A and B are shown apart, each in its own frame.
Chain A
Amino acid sequence: MSKKIEFLEFGQIKIEIQEITQSIIAFVLALVVSGIIILLSGYNPIIAYISLFQGAFGDFYSIAATLARATPIIFTGLAMTFAFLVNAANLGVEGQLYMGAFFAFLGGYLFQLPALFHIILALLMGALGGVLWSILPTVLKVKRGVHEIVTTMMMNGIAIFFTNYLTLYHFLDPSASIVGATDFIHDTAVLIRIIPGTSLSMAFIVALIFAFFAYYLIKRTNWGYKIRAVGLNPKAAEYGGVSVSKIWSLGMLISGAFAGLGGAGVTLGLYRRFLVRFSPGYGLPDGIVVALIGRRNPIGVILAGILIGALYTGSINMRLATSIPKELVLVIIGIITIFMAIPELWRIIKKWWTQSS
């Protein structure tokens, strides 16, 4: 019995190396294709990528900015990881992120507690907001067979309008320098800046803690085992006595909780208030691409989150240095996603390589 487990673990490592290879190939190919697009639009791709890299990792402050940009998308990447593991197309991470951010604001604004307890309460409120927003698509799918793609998409729009309404009509700070901002949360609920003068807050540390927690949950617990079993082969899991619909629902709700935590991190760490339409795509497309590059592995998600965060942060410097529009990042992310959808990409490359040489 123990030998069998060891054998499985060894096989697991081999699969993981193949999966990492797939991510690297997809990323490099996306840079090549985007490089061609840059070239065709009359810029120099080499200079573009160098300025991108310098903007992301060039000095202490740019690294801090990159990690800060990575924080929410590590959370949404974890959210999509749980969704992918149970084969749920939870496109609702964006809406769940918004609800999480708003609920965390409520937790930080309406209550008064000692510092640590207040932060924990506000984070839990954020997770709750995300879970609440994933309940309806989950119930509709399990009870009525309604596909989650459309319901979760619609829930995104509803969340954005709903938080917009709550902010403008009930919690608006009219003196704010930004249009559509609430009052500030209490200081006791704030996730303080790790490095003063940058946007890098303790939310990043919270993201790391939750990523390791997710890793433990997936790889070391009975629930995690069931989640993986349902994703790999639902029929076999059902036959083995696992309730597929129950585990599927669990995956969706955990997914919502992580997306909500991502929103909470933005409210408590970055803005310290709720801003209408604050997300530049933290959930969609960022969460999806981070989960994909991270190969549905929470540790991979941390690295992928930093990678995608670096692209966004670096693109600002790239624009200043070369005047290439920063929207190029979305082009790169889109191409990565398409390449990740090609199965066994590494095998195709290897075959092509051996044939041509």
Chain B
Amino acid sequence: MVDTIFITSLIAATLRLAVPIIISAEGEVITERAGVINVGIEGIALLGGFIATYVSYLTQNPWIAILAAVITGVVLGLINAVISLHPKGDQFLVGIGMNTFALGFTAYGLIVIWGELSAGASPRVPKTPKIQLPFEGAFSEISLFVVFMILLALVIYFILFKTNVGLRLRSVGENPAAADSAGINVYRTRLFAVVIGSALAALGGAYLTIDQHGRFQRYMTTGGFSALAIVVFGNWNPLIVLGGGLIFGFGEALVSRLAPALGVGLAPQFIQMVPLILTIVIYSLRKKVTQPEALGKPYIKE
């Protein structure tokens, strides 16, 4: 009986940790399949989560909050795309800039809106409702975002590999010059891909604040950097990314749960290092990375 409780709570923790990372990572798959790297998804998710919290606080309606987060992601995606799609624009710097801006802006906004007394966190705001399940314990209810995450991976897989739209998107990421001569608008396709990716990252951040915690915490991490690693681990394939994200979440959940049990003689710092070391190992062990051919390279029309 203790074991079932342990296992169900472990699975629930796995999902909690994996959802924001996977939603951001699926968006990044679309962006990178079109040939653009968006390093700023960590910051976009942070801002998405912050705006969602504020809007839920103002309107007391979590659905409007989700909409606001998505709009935030679209706006940031447009700014990001306009700069990174320029032939001489720097994709890497825009992303770093957005991450820094988000970190500062949310910490600033937290104090401006709720005052110094907020102690680094917003008040509790209305959360999105959960799906009720007929089980006891950790699975008596499940987040809507879990269902959304699974559907998202399937839909993106289908669009990328089974439809004409997906073919065009991938051709822009593999060989933009050929795609261009075949009549595909490279810039518009990439703009679209970056905006979708940013909107999903913002949604991932909104999950953290108005589904999981019900409040915004200063300097919280949104898993954007882990998402970048998992996209590579998942070979730019939405389904493997889903699996990879779940393995990552499971690893973190397991480590944090086993830590007290194994902790004899082992400093907690080493347990905290495990996911970081694992990421490097997994990242390095890939035999051959089959990344989109034109990834990170700006397209210069002849």
- A residues contacting B by CB (< 8 A) are 37, 41-42, 89, 91, 136, 140, 144-147, 149-151, 153-155, 157-158, 161-162, 164-165, 168-169, 285, 288-289, 292, 325, 327-344
Contact = CB atoms under 8 A, between A and B. Distances in A.
Nearest to B271: A161
Contacts of A328: 104, 108
B103 A146 contact: no
Interface of B: 39, 43, 79, 83-84, 86-90, 92-94, 96-105, 107-109, 111-112, 225, 228-229, 232, 267, 269-270, 272-273, 276-277, 279-280, 283-284, 289
Which of the listed residues A147, A335, A341 has the most CB atoms from chain B within 10 Å of its own CB?
A341
Given A150-B279, A154-B276, A337-B100, 11 more contacts: A150-B280, A151-B283, A154-B280, A157-B273, A292-B93, A325-B108, A329-B104, A333-B104, A334-B104, A335-B97, A337-B94
Nearest to A140: B284
Nearest to B295: A147
A331 B276 contact: no
Contact of B269 (A161, A333, A339): A161
Contacts of A168: 267, 269
Given A151-B280, A341-B90, A165 B98 contact: no
Given A41-B112, A337-B100, A343 B86 contact: yes
A340 B93 contact: yes
B103 to A, nearest CB: 6
A285 B269 contact: no
A273 B84 CA distance: 43
B273 A330 contact: no
A341 B89 contact: yes
A158 B277 contact: yes
A330 B98 CA distance: 11
Nearest to B298: A343
Q: Which of A42, A331, A336 has most chain B Cβ within 10 Å?
A: A331
A338 B53 CA distance: 25
Contacts of A37: 105, 108
12 contacts: A145-B289, A151-B283, A154-B276, A154-B280, A292-B93, A327-B108, A330-B104, A331-B104, A334-B103, A335-B101, A343-B87, A344-B88
B105 A338 contact: no
A150 to B, nearest CB: 5
Contact of A150 (B96, B104, B228): B228
B204 to A, nearest CB: 18
B93 A153 contact: no
Contacts of B273: 157-158, 161-162
Contacts of B279: 150, 154
Contacts of A149: 39, 92, 228
Contacts of B228: 149-150
A158 B92 contact: no
Contacts of A91: 96
A288 B92 CA distance: 11
B2 to A, nearest CB: 31
Nearest to A33: B101
Contacts of B284: 140, 144, 146, 151
- Count chain B CB atoms within 10 A of each CB in A154, A162, A342 and give the residue with the most: A154
B280 A334 contact: no
Nearest to A43: B112
A335 B270 CA distance: 36
Nearest to B225: A153
Contacts of A292: 93
B270 A327 contact: no
Contacts of A146: 283-284
Nearest to A326: B108
B147 to A, nearest CB: 29
B285 to A, nearest CB: 9
Contact of B267 (A153, A169, A344): A169
Nearest to B267: A165
B269 A164 contact: yes
A150 B283 contact: yes
